[in-house]
């Protein structure tokens, strides 16, 4: 049984991966107060002790999560990444981390953008998240033992429902509130339960490339998603669209699907599953945060 070290195991992506991999792998899941990922000496000692085979890097410092400056969270993300990267080969075999479509430059990202387009643009000033992911991706292209799984939109349980569109829409519908679409853009959304089978392929196999767009290859406008939510829950389509249109945010997934046999859950089925999850917890939701 392979031993996985998963950073950020209490976050959205990490928590879902931990649940999916329990019993399949031996898991090591250090918390923020157990291990400072930006402290190279501490990371080295921890890896020497735990001896993981594969490291899955989900930890992400975000200026939306904590009261830190953009420059600080940029530095924190890069410090964590490079501390972990510097120990590949000596302390573990392989790092799998999650990039972002923001690496392409949000204002220049083509619809269904392919991996080879990366590097044509640099993320815009002010997009410190995109810049951090860009720097990591540039380094990963030249480093042995790193796999960049580039995500576009992922949704599911444990995400921040107060500001994530699909969860927020479901909860507003369950509470009898209107669904608000601030900008009716088209997104390629991935159901979070489809991510673990993808990651498993990269744990178990040696891929042909170092970077893969992990997305469904299909898009939905936010208004269309809101309509599906209303249909699934059997409520009136009380949907307010503030701005119609906007740049599509999607990736091409031919590199991934031509190499691995991957199934993606239909949007309606995923929304139905997520709705059932929230129905059981609706009393825990503060309506004022929606």
Closest CA to 157 of 7, 16, 8, 267: 16
pLDDT in tens, 206-251: 999 999 999 999 999 999 999 999 999 999 999 999 998 778 999 9
What is the reported pLDDT for 63?
Answer: 45
**Are the C-beta atoms of residues 236 and 220 closer than 8 Å to each other?**
no
pTM of the predicted protein model: 0.95
Cα–Cα distance measured from residue 65 to residue 238, given in angstroms and rounded to the nearest whole number: 30
pLDDT in tens, 12-35: 999 999 999 999 999 999 998 999
Cα–Cα distance measured from residue 161 to residue 146, given in angstroms and rounded to the nearest whole number: 31
**Are the C-beta atoms of residues 128 and 63 closer than 8 Å to each other?**
yes
pLDDT in tens, 67-119: 455 557 799 999 999 999 999 999 999 999 999 999 998 777 789 999 999 99
**Are the C-beta atoms of residues 8 and 154 closer than 8 Å to each other?**
no
**Are the C-beta atoms of residues 176 and 239 closer than 8 Å to each other?**
no
Cα–Cα distance measured from residue 229 to residue 172, given in angstroms and rounded to the nearest whole number: 10
pLDDT in tens, 239-283: 999 998 778 999 999 999 999 999 999 999 999 999 999 999 999
Domain ranges of the chain: 1-151
What is the reported pLDDT for 247?
Answer: 83
Q: Report the topology of domain 1-151.
A: Rossmann fold (3.40.50)
pLDDT in tens, 139-196: 999 999 999 999 999 999 999 999 999 999 999 999 999 999 999 999 999 999 999 9
């Amino acid at each position: 049984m392979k031993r996985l070290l998963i950073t950020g195991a209490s976050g959205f992506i990490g928590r879902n991966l931990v649940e999916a991999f329990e019993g399949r792998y031996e898991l090591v899941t250090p918390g923020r107060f157990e291990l400072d990922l930006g402290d190279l000496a501490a990371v080295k000692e921890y890896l020497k002790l735990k001896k993981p085979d594969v490291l899955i890097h989900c930890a992400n410092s975000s200026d939306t999560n904590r009261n830190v400056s953009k420059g600080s969270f940029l530095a924190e993300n890069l410090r964590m990444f490079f501390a972990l990267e510097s120990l590949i080969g000596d302390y573990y075999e392989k790092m799998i981390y999650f990039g972002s479509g923001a690496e392409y430059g949000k204002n220049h990202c083509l619809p269904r953008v392919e991996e080879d387009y990366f590097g044509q643009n640099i993320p815009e000033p002010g997009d410190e998240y995109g810049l951090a992911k860009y720097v990591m991706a540039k380094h990963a292209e030249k480093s042995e033992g790193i796999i960049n799984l580039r995500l576009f939109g992922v949704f599911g349980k444990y995400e921040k429902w107060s500001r994530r569109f699909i969860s927020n829409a479901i909860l507003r519908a369950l509470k009898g509130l209107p669904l608000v679409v601030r900008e009716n853009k088209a997104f390629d959304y991935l159901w979070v339960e489809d991510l673990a089978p993808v990651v498993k392929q990269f744990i178990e196999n040696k891929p042909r490339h170092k970077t893969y767009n992990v997305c469904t290859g299909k898009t939905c406008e936010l208004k269309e998603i809101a309509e599906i939510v209303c249909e699934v829950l059997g409520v009136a389509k009380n949907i307010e669209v503030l701005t119609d249109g906007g740049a599509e945010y999607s990736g091409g997934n031919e590199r991934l699907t031509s190499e691995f046999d991957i199934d993606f859950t239909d949007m309606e089925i995923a929304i139905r599953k997520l709705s059932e999850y929230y129905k059981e917890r609706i009393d825990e939701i503060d309506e004022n945060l929606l």
